[in-house]
Structure 1
Amino acid sequence: MKMTVRVTIWNEYRHELTDDKVKAVYPHGIHRALADGLAEHGIDAGTATLDEPEHGLTQKVLESTDVLVWWGHMAHHEVSDEIVERVYRSVLNGMGLIVLHSGHCSKIFAKLLGTNTCALKWREADEKERLWIVDPSHPIAAGISEYIELEREEMYGEHFDVPPPEELVFVSWFEGGEVFRSGLTYRRGQGKIFYFRPGHETYPTYYHPDIKRVIANAVSWAAPSGVARPVYGNTQPLEQIKPKQ
């Protein structure tokens, strides 16, 4: 029996309210576009935004979330350290996390990955991006041909200052010549993490059918396994320990 994956999409929801160019592309917010894309693949998703109480990520919300999707850019510093710690603990306890585009600079991504800066090269020049699948057997790439081509996107270029990923699913090539590791997976505690590069706020990337499919695949991949949480600390023996003579 297929289990329902409970998804929450978190978005700053600032650009869409302050920038007419972004509002024209995502009139109801990036979070709504992402939720609509998941709905096309049979996945219902709730949403949360920065300016809601507790950023919309109350303990109750996180306890009822199997996979959290994260988009942020201009207000990483406004995310409360208390909420970051709450999300961090949820991931360690098994909640999946999908970090999109400029979420690479979010507090939660940096905390989960460690001390690396998550820095990279970038450029906005309306250039073509081609995302090559480098692990065609990976479930996140299911249903995609050899590559995804985006006519206009922001460039991210190497070096990307993150720990070596456990799996590399996509590598991007850009019209200006740069390349970038664009689909990375990690595991932290019992949680699975996927970073996916595309999604600059002024481009309609999240309406692209292949991008929507990748995110839906990633949600299914990152969902908790259902395996019982390990027990830590002092514990009683499973077998009788015989006294030593």
Structure 2
Amino acid sequence: MSNPIRVTVFNEFHHENHYEPARRIYPDGIHAVIAASLKEHSYEVQTATQDQPEHGLTEDVLNGTDVLVWWSHILVDEFSDEVVERIHRRILDGMGLIVLHSGTQSKLFKKLMGTSCAIKWREADEKERIWVLAPNHPIVAGVPEYFELPEEEMYGEFFDVPPPEELVLMSWFQGGEVFRSGITYTRGKGKIFVFRPGHESLPTYYNPHVQRIIANSVGWAAPVAGTPAPAFGNAQPLEPLPQKQA
């Protein structure tokens, strides 16, 4: 029997402690709701929050993490550069990363993308319709052709990121904008999935389709056991080479 996928869910846990609408929806934090839903899929789940030492993302925690699920927003400038470097190295070495909602504005995601990651946005609690564009992709297994969130924060194009490797989901908003709301990247050996929905004062993370997509993406992003490590540096020839003339 294979070992369970080890997941760490990181959340700033600021809004839920300082903003009543967020506290009312997520009294124990966004991370608690996501972690509970992931445990239903037999993942081994722990959580980390920004106010913990080293933001809860110590070397030991990251070395014991197969996939990091990330939610951040208002405290991005206060996040430790040293911890960003630590996470970045683990991703290049094979740890998966799921970036949720405003996590696209984090130091970590901007470092991985090498761009501003800027977006349009609007808080108007408007309907979002999310379309599946890659129906055979494992991230959307069990998800219908489209689903709707009755109230969400709008993110609109242009989204200043490199062209994604895969475009899995696309959002349309009641105000008219569209957004690439489910996209994938690879950095080093690590796989990255960016999933747009999840405003802090709306019950998005209780939605069963949202929960399924996050759970599926964890399975997709987890390192594959037995994958050979790439060799770098000076390499000896596999067959004899002609001798150079003096």
- Scaled by the length of structure 2, the TM-score of the pair is 0.96
Q: What's the C-alpha RMSD, in Å, of the aligned pairs?
A: 1.2
Q: How does 1:59-208 map to 2 (within 5 A)?
A: 59-114=59-114, 116-208=115-207
1:139 CA drift (Å):
0.4
Distance 1:158 1:89 in 2: 30
1:146 CA drift (Å):
0.3
Cα deviation code 1:173-215 (max 9, x no counterpart): 0111111000010000000000000000000100111100000
1:244 CA drift (Å):
4.9
Distance 2:233 2:46 in 1: 36
1:240 CA drift (Å):
3.9
Q: Secondary structure at the match of 1:232?
A: coil
Task: State the percentage of identical aligned residues.
Answer: 61
Q: Is the 8 A contact 1:41 1:213 kept in 2?
A: no
Structure 1 gap ranges (5+): none
Distance 1:218 1:186 in 2: 12
Q: Secondary structure at the match of 2:179?
A: strand
1:133 CA drift (Å):
0.3
Distance 2:117 2:170 in 1: 17
Cα deviation code 1:127-169 (max 9, x no counterpart): 1101000010110010001012101110111111111100000
Distance 1:146 1:166 in 2: 21
Q: Secondary structure at the match of 1:99?
A: strand
Distance 1:228 1:63 in 2: 18
Distance 2:231 2:61 in 1: 24
The runs of at least 4 consecutive aligned structure 1 residues that moved more than 4 Å come to none
1:235 CA drift (Å):
2.8
Q: Is the 8 A contact 1:95 1:223 kept in 2?
A: yes
Q: Is the 8 A contact 1:8 1:67 kept in 2?
A: yes
Distance 1:198 1:2 in 2: 32
For residue 195 of structure 1, what is the amino acid of its counterpart?
Answer: V
1:66 CA drift (Å):
0.4
Q: Which residue is equivalent to 1:10?
A: 10
Alignment coverage as a number of residue pairs = 244
1:3 CA drift (Å):
3.9
For residue 24 of structure 2, what is the amino acid of its counterpart?
Answer: A
Structure 2 gap ranges (5+): none
Distance 1:208 1:41 in 2: 16
For residue 25 of structure 1, what is the amino acid of its counterpart?
Answer: I
Distance 2:201 2:118 in 1: 21
